[in-house]
A and B are shown apart, each in its own frame.
Chain A
Amino acid sequence: MSATDQDPKQANENPELIVQGKLADNERLKDESNYLRGTITNDLGDELSGGFRGDNFQLIRFHGMYAQDDRDIRPDLVARKLEPRKNVMLRCRLPGGIISPEQWLGIDKFATESTDYGSIRITNRQTFQFHGVLKENVKPMHQWLNQLGLDSLATAGDVNRNVLCTSNPVESQLQKEAYEWAKKLSEHLLPKTRAYAEIWLDKEKQFSTEDGIEDDEPILGKTYLPRKFKTTVIIPPHNDVDMHANDMNFVAIADKSGKKLLGFNAVVGGGLSFTHGMKHTFPTTAHDLGYIPAKKLLDCAEAIVSLQRDWGNRVDRTNAKTRYTIARVGLETFKAEVERRMDHQFKPVRPYELTERGDRIGWIQGEEGLHHLTLFVENGRLLGKKKEGAAEIARIHKGDFRLTANQNLIVAGVAEEDKAEIEAIAKAHGLIADTTEQRQRAMACVSLPTCPLAMAEAERYLPTLIDEIEVMLKKHGMEDEYIITRIAGCPNGCGRAMLAEMGLVGKAPGRYNLYLGGNRAGTRVPKQHLENATTEEILKEADTLIERWSKERNDGEEFGDFVIRAGVVKEIQCSATDFWD
């Protein structure tokens, strides 16, 4: 056994802090998976089905893939007695969202040649996804990524996923340090199993149970975490990473110069997913734990992750995330256990403020004199001409690319003499165009046709919805303003609609719940205003509210603040009690 005991019963000195009961089936699945191997290799060799079967359907998530199919054509294929067009979505591991031009050209090539949709989808967790990879291309894809120096290990499943880091390239010094920590965190918390290397990269099996030497997961444990776990490193006051959507955040605290990193505030227990109609599930913002010096970062992270590993609910997956553990045991108990595990006491939280979340679209100059071009990518979807433009830039770019948590693309580190050429390419390919702040700050998850959980359109509806809202803003003389608008195809949280001023959460095709009252800084969860409403009903209500906002707002008042002050919705102060009442 490793230093950190993996048996939760033994590790925990307070057995009553563990939820007792019949373990969720996913616990059996992880336990029996032989450190995430399952029988994935058999499925790869199966001629009959294009999909992954049984436990493997879930296990491939730990390897960064989701089993999906094209839902647009599913009914037609089923009618023809054919198998749905099964494929996988791959999510890369890209801590802090930084990728080199060479790597970009590699992923561009794969997306073009070997995926059904031919797109690169930049996600709001600073990485990219391939959509529509057929089974025969899955193993070659991993080998392709590997030779590019990329992997997709643990970007999904019950593990610590891709670690975010504020993209702000202006404060270059601080950002560089923060990014290095994000990368270290990602690597420190990665599964240590060799399953990924064996299955996808044909690496020799080095461990076998027959030898008595097993794979070892000193931090995550043999059954990994109870649920997905999300981490950010954030440089305030810019909240581009949407800190409150995450289980564990480290808020960078700099010295007075603003250039040298001192340490971090640990902020834990944010998360946005809920289940329609299940009142024990709710989105909530994260809680401050305290300050630690930078050198204690990995210890602190490991303590929080191992605590959640041991205390998290493994009986009910809808209540298994860190935020429910905190709600159950209390923040003080949680904090004390983290301190015990990292053998260090938190200092009081250093003051910090979050002001806004959007990216600064266009050119900005950093501390070191280099220039950075942020390209607005609607929905993060690079396809066709825009994707070609990004590849064109990659061919001549000497710096790097940064994928932002707002699903945009930063061409970072451009010398003065290269600016014009890059800008010309971007313009020629539609990557620089006149857009409103309303559009730039909007967001949607992928949803239909690929996401199996989707209940309604999200990405494909967003542009139309923004068109409509732009018209309303103009009509009411508010065209210089914006409302942070987000659509999620289901309540699982990917579209982060639960941190929007106006959030739509899918219920059924063409129907959504409408949530109002988040704020621009992303520190408040919105409240349900309409239930199961048609898009027509939502647009009508939006028009009414925008008109009222234009007439009744206080000076500079945000839409989210206005709807609360005007009594349109109640402010959510404590999600556990306020979200459903």
Chain B
Amino acid sequence: MSDPNSSMPVPVQLTEQLSSLTAQQKAFLAGYLWAESNGAASAVVGLPAAAAVGGAPQRSITVISASATGNAAGIAKKLTEKLKSEALDVTLTSAGSYKARQLAKEDIVVISTSTQGDGEPPEEGVPLHSYLFGKKAPKLDGVSFAVIGLGDSSYPLFCQAGIDFDTKLGELGAERLMDRVDCDVDYEAASDAWIDAAVAKLKDVAGGSGAAVAGAVSAVDTYTHEESAYNKDNPYTATLLTSHPLVTDNAGRIIQHVEIDLDESGLQYQVGDALGIVTNNPSELVDEVLGLCGLSGDENIEGRAGTANIRQALAQQCDLNQLTPKFLADYAATAGSDDLSALVEDKDKLQDFQAWTPLVGLLDAYPQKLEAQRLYDGLKPLAPRLYSIASSQEEVGEEVHLCVGLVDIEANGRVYHGSASGLLSNRLEEGDEVQVFVEPNPRFRLPESGDTPVIMIGPGTGIAPFRAFMQQRNADGAQGRNWLFFGNRNYRDDFLYHAEWIEYRDSGLLHDVSLAWSRDGEDKVYVQDKIRENAEAFWQAIEEGAHIYVCGDASRMAKDVERAILDVIAEQGGKDEDDAVEYLNELREADRYQRDVY
């Protein structure tokens, strides 16, 4: 290269100014000018612009997050920022807005994914997952990848989605840059270590030998939302306005309507979002645990929040309902029970036991004295519970409404309750404080246009976001058709918000209702049956551009509903199974099939 000052076709002043720039600034400018010369950069400054400047070419990295509650997305974001500060060419995207067919064209792919309770990827990761596992899966020779998985070891298929992505990418010919890491509920330490390792690795393989070009966060980062002063780590102390039953006394269970006052917090939510509830354990339960363990409660432990006495720690920090296999194995080792030892060795039995037995059940059945620290260390951290919001601020202003099913847990011949559902249903009095935060769910949004038809499938408490949808569509004066699929046990005992749905129908806002009752009459009828029963109209609605929303139980309902929708697409659309799956994935990618399942 000759003397730049004489050969560059630019004014001297400019080259002088350029010399004062940092390497990163120069890199940015190089890319910017390159794009400008190709007629692309005039629109936005700071958008991806990649160009190698001399030496070995820099490789481009795409970080994809598949997140349900934002943790996997948070890891992806943190990684991306660190890669950027190392001046690597990195693009961050959420799986929901990522076109799966792009994958074969990628250079380096990093996936951060969580796993649902049933081992499935989170909702937004489903299209990518099913693409990779489908018949049209691409060859990925030439693509490099790394995967980090998040999960909860108290579920049997721990981190399964991460395992799936990691295994499949390898099988399809991609090069694994580093070993996958599976993180448990308490994930920060593990994920931070992995991020550091990943940055080092990527710097090495993707940095190139010349100056780097700064990457940028994708313009379609779906996690951009107004940052509130309050979040999971800094919840807002709100006031419970009311908690009253939505079902009759014959319903055989309790489902509550809960109203919480956000007052002056400035907390904003959109319909489709969830509300996080910081929960705790009732003092009677804590006392029972202490008694069974032979503890006074005054023993100190070293915990996540420093030194605390065990009573306080059990009440505020520990999950007393969901035990982990690790804790069970540890407990069995000293319990002196052959039964329990045999049980923890049998995977199926262990899974079943773990699913149905809270801590008090274990302590009662296989008693042994436990040290406070050992108890504390064995228990999962008590995580906030997320509830799909059942209101629109257009209608309720500074309030937020929830629909809460009280979870019954049977043990020792008694009924205990879920921690958060018990808190909201029983333990809090009107006027009491409750700590909350808004958990955005950008993958569950009403269509932009009020004219777009909407199909809402939400049996049980899955109806919650649809109450919010209707409030919103009402406030917006939306003209599109609204079709509700709801189901529960009995029409007259647990038709949640029945009076409101009648009002919406009578006022012309709700156009169609399909109802399924599992304990009325001789046949058990479920929402998926109603979808099939209305196949023609359902298909017509899809063809007219309807957006389909599903909310509620992930383990069975969401699968059964999806099966029914696929059957309708195949039968009514004259498609074979593969084409139907493809069609549904297209709907998903077009945000026309959105799920909020748990």
CB of A298, distance to nearest CB on chain B (Å)? 45
Q: Which of A6-14, A77-85, A242-250, A414-422 lies at the interface with chain B? A: A77-85
Q: Which residues of B contact A78 (CB under 8 A)?
A: 499
Complexed CA–CA distance, A27 and B486 (Å)? 39
CB of B286, distance to nearest CB on chain A (Å)? 32
A345 at the interface (CB under 8 A from B): no
Instruction: Pick the contact of B498: A53, A79, A82 (CB < 8 A).
Output: A82
Complexed CA–CA distance, A83 and B513 (Å)? 16
CB of B258, distance to nearest CB on chain A (Å)? 12
Q: Which of A44-52, A373-381, A481-489 lies at the interface with chain B? A: A44-52
What is the 8 Å Cβ interface bit string for chain B, positions 458-499, against chain A (1 contact, 0 not)?
000000000000000000000000000000000110011111
Instruction: Pick the contact of A48: B244, B248, B501 (CB < 8 A).
Output: B501
Q: Which residues of A contact B586 (CB under 8 A)?
A: none
Complexed CA–CA distance, A48 and B483 (Å)? 12
Within 8 A of A (CB), among B508-537: 513-515
Contact B505 A83 (CB under 8 A): no
Q: Which residues of B contact A85 (CB under 8 A)?
A: 492
What is the 8 Å Cβ interface bit string for chain A, positions 307-328, against chain B (1 contact, 0 not)?
0000000000000000000000
B59 at the interface (CB under 8 A from A): no
Contact A48 B515 (CB under 8 A): yes
Contact B497 A81 (CB under 8 A): yes
Complexed CA–CA distance, A285 and B263 (Å)? 65
Within 8 A of B (CB), among A278-314: none
Complexed CA–CA distance, A77 and B515 (Å)? 20
B506 at the interface (CB under 8 A from A): yes
Q: Which residues of B contact A53 (CB under 8 A)?
A: 506
Complexed CA–CA distance, A85 and B498 (Å)? 12
Complexed CA–CA distance, A82 and B247 (Å)? 8
Complexed CA–CA distance, A80 and B492 (Å)? 12
Complexed CA–CA distance, A457 and B87 (Å)? 83
Complexed CA–CA distance, A208 and B229 (Å)? 69
What is the 8 Å Cβ interface bit string for chain A, positions 13-48, against chain B (1 contact, 0 not)?
000000000000000000000000000000000011
Known: A50-B492, A53-B506, A77-B248. A83 touches B514 (CB 8 A): no
Instruction: Pick the contact of A81: B491, B499, B505 (CB < 8 A).
Output: B499
B500 at the interface (CB under 8 A from A): yes
Contact A80 B506 (CB under 8 A): no
Q: Which residues of B contact A80 (CB under 8 A)?
A: 244-248
Number of chain A interface residues as a range: 10 to 19
Complexed CA–CA distance, A47 and B492 (Å)? 12
What is the 8 Å Cβ interface bit string for chain B, positions 239-252, against chain A (1 contact, 0 not)?
00000111110000
Complexed CA–CA distance, A53 and B505 (Å)? 12
Within 8 A of A (CB), among B427-465: none
CB of A74, distance to nearest CB on chain B (Å)? 11
What is the 8 Å Cβ interface bit string for chain B, positions 388-424, against chain A (1 contact, 0 not)?
0000000000000000000000000000000000000
CB of A290, distance to nearest CB on chain B (Å)? 52
Instruction: Pick the contact of B505: A48, A50, A77, A134 (CB < 8 A).
Output: A48
Question: CB-nearest residue of chain B relative to A83?
Answer: B498
Contact A81 B500 (CB under 8 A): yes
Q: Which residues of B contact A49 (CB under 8 A)?
A: 502, 505
Complexed CA–CA distance, A230 and B71 (Å)? 75
What is the 8 Å Cβ interface bit string for chain A, positions 100-127, against chain B (1 contact, 0 not)?
0000000000000000000000000000
B257 at the interface (CB under 8 A from A): yes
Q: Which residues of B contact A77 (CB under 8 A)?
A: 248
What is the 8 Å Cβ interface bit string for chain B, positions 283-327, against chain A (1 contact, 0 not)?
000000000000000000000000000000000000000000000
Interface size on B, residues (CB 8 A): 21
CB of A168, distance to nearest CB on chain B (Å)? 45
Known: A48-B505, A50-B492, A77-B248. A83 touches B499 (CB 8 A): yes
CB of B199, distance to nearest CB on chain A (Å)? 52
Complexed CA–CA distance, A85 and B490 (Å)? 13
Contact B514 A79 (CB under 8 A): no
CB of B277, distance to nearest CB on chain A (Å)? 21
Q: Which residues of A contact B499 (CB under 8 A)?
A: 78, 81-83
CB of A57, distance to nearest CB on chain B (Å)? 12
Complexed CA–CA distance, A83 and B494 (Å)? 11
CB of B245, distance to nearest CB on chain A (Å)? 6
Contact B498 A81 (CB under 8 A): yes
What is the 8 Å Cβ interface bit string for chain A, positions 48-63, against chain B (1 contact, 0 not)?
1110010000000000
Most chain A CB inside 10 Å of its own CB: which residue of B247, B495, B500, B515? B495
Q: Which residues of B contact A50 (CB under 8 A)?
A: 491-492
Q: Which residues of B contact A134 (CB under 8 A)?
A: 492
Within 8 A of B (CB), among A399-445: none
CB of A37, distance to nearest CB on chain B (Å)? 21
Q: Which residues of B contact A83 (CB under 8 A)?
A: 495, 498-499, 502
Complexed CA–CA distance, A83 and B515 (Å)? 15
Within 8 A of A (CB), among B158-213: none
Known: A48-B502, A49-B502, A53-B506. A81 touches B246 (CB 8 A): yes
Complexed CA–CA distance, A49 and B515 (Å)? 11
Most chain B CB inside 10 Å of its own CB: which residue of A49, A80, A83, A85? A80
Instruction: Pick the contact of A82: B495, B506, B513, B514 (CB < 8 A).
Output: B495
Complexed CA–CA distance, A282 and B244 (Å)? 46
Contact A82 B505 (CB under 8 A): no
Complexed CA–CA distance, A50 and B500 (Å)? 14
Complexed CA–CA distance, A77 and B257 (Å)? 13
Complexed CA–CA distance, A79 and B513 (Å)? 23
Complexed CA–CA distance, A181 and B501 (Å)? 51
Known: A48-B501, A48-B505, A49-B502. A81 touches B513 (CB 8 A): no
Contact B248 A82 (CB under 8 A): yes
Most chain B CB inside 10 Å of its own CB: which residue of A77, A79, A81, A83? A81
CB of A359, distance to nearest CB on chain B (Å)? 39
Most chain B CB inside 10 Å of its own CB: which residue of A50, A78, A82, A85? A82
Q: Which residues of A contact B248 (CB under 8 A)?
A: 77, 80, 82
Q: Which residues of B contact A48 (CB under 8 A)?
A: 501-502, 505, 513, 515
Q: Which residues of A contact B246 (CB under 8 A)?
A: 80-82
What is the 8 Å Cβ interface bit string for chain A, positions 69-101, against chain B (1 contact, 0 not)?
000000001111111010000000000000000
Question: CB-nearest residue of chain A relative to B247?
Answer: A80
Q: Which residues of A contact B500 (CB under 8 A)?
A: 81
Complexed CA–CA distance, A136 and B248 (Å)? 20
Q: Which residues of A contact B495 (CB under 8 A)?
A: 82-83
CB of B242, distance to nearest CB on chain A (Å)? 10
Question: CB-nearest residue of chain B relative to A134?
Answer: B492
Q: Which residues of A contact B502 (CB under 8 A)?
A: 48-49, 83
Within 8 A of A (CB), among B230-278: 244-248, 257
What is the 8 Å Cβ interface bit string for chain A, positions 261-288, against chain B (1 contact, 0 not)?
0000000000000000000000000000
Question: CB-nearest residue of chain B relative to A82?
Answer: B498
Question: CB-nearest residue of chain B relative to A48?
Answer: B513
Contact B244 A79 (CB under 8 A): yes
Most chain A CB inside 10 Å of its own CB: which residue of B247, B257, B491, B514? B491
Complexed CA–CA distance, A134 and B500 (Å)? 20
Complexed CA–CA distance, A80 and B255 (Å)? 10
CB of B498, distance to nearest CB on chain A (Å)? 5
CB of B189, distance to nearest CB on chain A (Å)? 45
Within 8 A of A (CB), among B309-356: none
CB of B413, distance to nearest CB on chain A (Å)? 30
What is the 8 Å Cβ interface bit string for chain B, positions 521-559, against chain A (1 contact, 0 not)?
000000000000000000000000000000000000000
Besides the known contacts A47-B513, A82-B498, A82-B499, 6 further A-B residue pairs in the complex with CB atoms under 8 A apart: A49-B502, A77-B248, A82-B246, A82-B492, A83-B495, A83-B502
25 pairs across A/B with beta carbons < 8 Å? A47-B513, A47-B514, A47-B515, A48-B505, A48-B513, A48-B515, A49-B502, A49-B505, A53-B506, A77-B248, A78-B499, A79-B244, A80-B245, A80-B246, A80-B247, A81-B246, A81-B497, A81-B499, A82-B248, A82-B492, A82-B498, A83-B498, A83-B499, A83-B502, A134-B492
For the complex of A and B, 8 pairs with smallest distance between CB atoms = A47-B515, A82-B498, A48-B513, A83-B498, A81-B497, A81-B499, A49-B502, A83-B499
